[in-house]
Structure 1
Amino acid sequence: MTGNTDVVVVGGGYAGVMAANRLTQRDDVTVTLINPRPTFVERIRLHQLVGGSHDAVVDYREVLAERVRLVVDTVTRIDAAERSVTLATGGTVGYDYLIYAVGSGSADPRVPGAAEFAYPIASLEEAQRLRPVVDAAPATAAVTVVGAGPTGIETAAELAEQGRSVTLVCGEVLGPYLHPRGRRSVAKRLAKLGVTVLDGPGATVTAVTRDAVQLSGGRELPSTVTIWTAGFGVPDLAGRSGLSTDALGRLLTDETLTSVDDARIVAAGDSAAPSGLPFRMSCQAAGPLGAHAADTVLSRIAGEQPAPIELGFAGQCISLGRRAGIFQFAHRNDTAMRLYLGGRPGAKLKEFVCWGTVKQLADEARKPGSLSWAWSKDDKRQQLLQAKRGQAPATAEPAA
């Protein structure tokens, strides 16, 4: 490809910012980042926003390369045939390549009353809406957190550390990702904070009312504030635009992160489903996926065949208030191992991860192409893909 190349990145989270910064390696590439907010959201700190210990936002000037043009708007449609996106405020933006990094948000709870009476916290606006509600509730008010993944655990611990009366409704198990040893450590810390943990049979929420939560076992819990952290969904932009998605709505791609429908559309982050076998939704995956999406586009611009994604995991990091945390170490295929780091060292490591994730973006802005995740390769992914599908992953045709 000769002349200038216009690349549009849809979504300014961890994956989108990483991709946009990395694309600036070439002087002949113009990068436009379209995001509905004027500031970068540290999503892994939203529970801190609810608790009042952090505002969870960073100025884009701190993490975005100067050459990236930021457009504060929402993309309502992708027109692959015309190579353009339609904006909510009117008008279109054309592209030669598009990186789809719209991220994820709260899933439809599909539980009677949850949408009306429970507060999700998967987005900045949701967390900001919840913060004054928590502040206005009496100190002794019953707070129920539904969902015992990292967000639920962190939110419950954050509020309990402030003296709130918190019940964590797990559904089946506390911290499904965790190894049993790590799970016991988390349970011990939550108990020390005074969190009531409900798990096992009868601990699934069946309905939410204005002042109570009903469980599958027939129990009704008084609840002045109900916080919903059970499950994540993705925006339906890809599906509405006629692109192939998985059941959750993530854009279906090959292993280079290229859309199975269009070689000029590449996905990254929580909204990508490479080979129908997506990585865990996390900032840990978002950064490398954003970098790889950019590398795929740069390879196509250079007339080269993009490489398949090679991404391994290190574990899962969970804060347990401001004074404790846990880092659950994992095998590179993202399965937990016996080893974990807890207590105050776990809290320090979690804070380092939060700080380091933003620093990675800033480093890539200053020196695009400098970051590498070569150490974190999962050698078992190809075996898993072939076993799951019975064939080698399909690859989109090279772009003209």
Structure 2
Amino acid sequence: MVLGAGYAGLHAVKQLVALQPDAEIVLVNRDVYHYDTARLHEVAVGRTDPSEISFNLRETIDPSVGLIVDDVMRIDHDIRAVELRNNGLVFYDYLINALGGATSTPEVPGASENAFPLITLDDALRARSHIERILTDYRVSQNPYDLRIAVCGDGFSAVAFMAALVHQLPILTKQFGVPADKFEVHCFASNPNPLYRFDPKLTEWIMEFLQGSNVIFHGSSRVTAVGPGEVHVGNQVFHANTIVWAAGIRGSEVVPISGYAQKFNRVIVRDDLSVIEADGSWPREFVIGDVSAFPNPETGRVYPATAQLAIAQAECAASNVAQLLKGGRTYRFDYKPYGTILPLGPHSGVALLQDSKGNYTRLKGAKVRLLISRMNKDFRDAID
């Protein structure tokens, strides 16, 4: 049984079908469609139609794979069963948990109620509908806060959203008849600069790119609360009638409910991606994708949750299940990232590429556009 049809889960199913194990394969997902999470910001700003980044699972997965569309409530490891909202208990022999992530907001009062996350396709559509409604309202209200968007977060998703937004602004302001010169985009970063762990040279160029597009950064500004139309930073209150929350993700809430040893709802796994349990009571389970925490063997730091990591983990987990079904031994997960690509709107971006010897190449500007197109195609091919 595979839980979740994101990058990790869907690719795991594809690999299992290719390996042809003597077993029934069942995929469980809350929706009947898969969507490209790396492009949700395009939908949120109105540049991309949802149909361009999503497709129906029944039309994609092999006919031999069973599909259950339902919500996972919890996993009972002792009896090897998954409890579903509508279908009750469904039993498994081997489990690949790829349930994905959720918005990381519980420590900030009011964030989940008053800000728009960008984790699911529904999130992106809600943000898009709100932005269009608030721009329509401005023509009557003339409220300057209707033209102000606050972005809470300093990571890749925050930067990608802001870059897509400023590129789309000329179209939005013309479409809704609002003054472009009064539109404001503010970014609240808990660190002095966004992407503080990314390559410093490329980060400097990203800052210049966004500030040149009139994005206003508030560095070292940790958001302490979010109210209706309000971002609180310590004792200061900043007003904006659109607030986007892009301050990271945590694993699915099913993880703590199901009794995993975890941190931020991510499960530290063994080197073969199986669950770490001292008594060895869950030997038939692998955890991959956003709910998995896999440490870099050289640094000890957990790898960030990315699509390329999820797809690589899926290949390993599927192979290990096939090995166990044959009575064989599992493989060690050996991860070699090939770099990072970050789009800055449809015509620009940055890339930090790594070769087999560990050497890095930096790219920026329009030349990255072709890499982004290739990356989107590769990810689509990996799960299609």
How big is each residue's C-alpha offset from its partner over 1:239-263, in whole Å with a ceiling of 9 and x where there is no partner?
3223x32222223321111112311
How big is each residue's C-alpha offset from its partner over 1:194-216, in whole Å with a ceiling of 9 and x where there is no partner?
211222x4x22223232232324
Which residue identity does 2:20 align to in structure 1? R
Q: TM-score, normalised by structure 1?
A: 0.81
Matched residues in 1 for 2:256 and 2:97: separation?
A: 12
Structure with the bigger percentage of helix: 2
Is 2:369 the partner of 1:352?
Answer: no
How big is each residue's C-alpha offset from its partner over 1:342-395, in whole Å with a ceiling of 9 and x where there is no partner?
111223312321222011222xxxxxxxxxxxxxxxxxxxxxxxxxxxxxxxxx
Residue of structure 2 aligned with 1:83, choices 74, 77, 80? 80
Contact map agreement 1:33 1:68 (CA 8 A) in 2: yes
- Which sections of structure 1, spanning at least 5 residues, go unmatched? 1-7, 363-400
User: Cα offset for 1:269?
Assistant: 1.0
Percent identity between matched residues is 26
Note closer, same or farther for the CA distance 1:339–1:64 as it changes in structure 2 (3 Å cut): same
Matched residues in 1 for 2:81 and 2:117: separation?
A: 32
Matched residues in 1 for 2:252 and 2:209: separation?
A: 35
Provide the residue aligned with 1:238 in structure 2. 255
Instruction: Summarize the alignment of residues 151-162 of structure 1 with structure 2, pairs less than 5 Å apart.
Output: 151-162=157-168
How big is each residue's C-alpha offset from its partner over 1:50-87, in whole Å with a ceiling of 9 and x where there is no partner?
01222131222564233222110112122222222121
Which residue identity does 1:303 align to in structure 2? G
Instruction: Summarize the alignment of residues 35-114 of structure 1 with structure 2, pairs less than 5 Å apart.
Output: 35-54=29-48, 55=50, 56-61=53-58, 63-114=60-111
Contact map agreement 2:149 2:240 (CA 8 A) in 1: yes
Of the structure 1 ranges 164-173 and 43-52, higher mean CA displacement relative to structure 2 is found in 164-173
Matched residues in 2 for 1:61 and 1:182: separation?
A: 41
Which residue identity does 2:94 align to in structure 1? Y
Matched residues in 1 for 2:107 and 2:201: separation?
A: 32
Matched residues in 1 for 2:250 and 2:66: separation?
A: 28
Matched residues in 2 for 1:130 and 1:297: separation?
A: 39
Contact map agreement 1:109 1:230 (CA 8 A) in 2: no
Provide the residue aligned with 1:117 in structure 2. 114
User: Cα offset for 1:103?
Assistant: 1.1
Matched residues in 2 for 1:32 and 1:277: separation?
A: 33
Provide the residue aligned with 2:287 in structure 1. 267
Residue 41 of structure 2 aligns to a residue in which SS? helix
Residue of structure 2 aligned with 1:206, choices 196, 209, 224? 224
User: Cα offset for 1:95?
Assistant: 1.3
- Which sections of structure 2, spanning at least 5 residues, go unmatched? 139-145, 170-182
Residue 93 of structure 1 aligns to a residue in which SS? strand
User: Cα offset for 1:330?
Assistant: 4.8
Provide the residue aligned with 1:165 in structure 2. 184
Note closer, same or farther for the CA distance 1:109–1:190 as it changes in structure 2 (3 Å cut): farther
Provide the residue aligned with 1:10 in structure 2. 3
Q: TM-score, normalised by structure 2?
A: 0.85
Residue of structure 1 aligned with 2:123, choices 123, 126, 132? 126
Provide the residue aligned with 1:190 in structure 2. 210
Matched residues in 2 for 1:300 and 1:278: separation?
A: 26
Matched residues in 2 for 1:263 and 1:355: separation?
A: 35
Large movers: runs of 4+ above 3 Å: 274-278, 330-334
Contact map agreement 2:58 2:67 (CA 8 A) in 1: no
Contact map agreement 1:146 1:169 (CA 8 A) in 2: yes
Which residue identity does 2:370 align to in structure 1? K
Residue of structure 2 aligned with 1:323, choices 347, 356, 359? 347
Matched residues in 1 for 2:357 and 2:214: separation?
A: 34
Contact map agreement 2:250 2:290 (CA 8 A) in 1: no
Residue 134 of structure 1 aligns to a residue in which SS? helix
Residue 224 of structure 2 aligns to a residue in which SS? strand
Residue of structure 1 aligned with 2:15, choices 12, 22, 38? 22
Which residue identity does 2:231 align to in structure 1? V
Residue 162 of structure 1 aligns to a residue in which SS? helix
Of the structure 1 ranges 228-237 and 78-87, higher mean CA displacement relative to structure 2 is found in 78-87
Provide the residue aligned with 1:147 in structure 2. 153
Which residue identity does 1:35 align to in structure 2? N
Contact map agreement 2:70 2:87 (CA 8 A) in 1: no
Matched residues in 1 for 2:313 and 2:372: separation?
A: 21
Is 2:27 the partner of 1:33?
Answer: yes
Of the structure 1 ranges 135-144 and 33-42, higher mean CA displacement relative to structure 2 is found in 135-144
Note closer, same or farther for the CA distance 1:304–1:182 as it changes in structure 2 (3 Å cut): same
Contact map agreement 1:17 1:63 (CA 8 A) in 2: no
Of the structure 1 ranges 166-175 and 270-279, higher mean CA displacement relative to structure 2 is found in 270-279
Which residue identity does 2:288 align to in structure 1? A
Q: CA RMSD in A?
A: 2.2
Contact map agreement 1:182 1:338 (CA 8 A) in 2: no
Provide the residue aligned with 1:3 in structure 2. none
User: Cα offset for 1:219?
Assistant: 4.5
Corresponding residue pairs, total: 349
Contact map agreement 2:47 2:168 (CA 8 A) in 1: no
Matched residues in 2 for 1:258 and 1:212: separation?
A: 43
Contact map agreement 1:49 1:127 (CA 8 A) in 2: yes
Of the structure 1 ranges 93-102 and 77-86, higher mean CA displacement relative to structure 2 is found in 77-86
Which residue identity does 2:12 align to in structure 1? A
Residue 143 of structure 1 aligns to a residue in which SS? strand
Matched residues in 2 for 1:112 and 1:239: separation?
A: 21
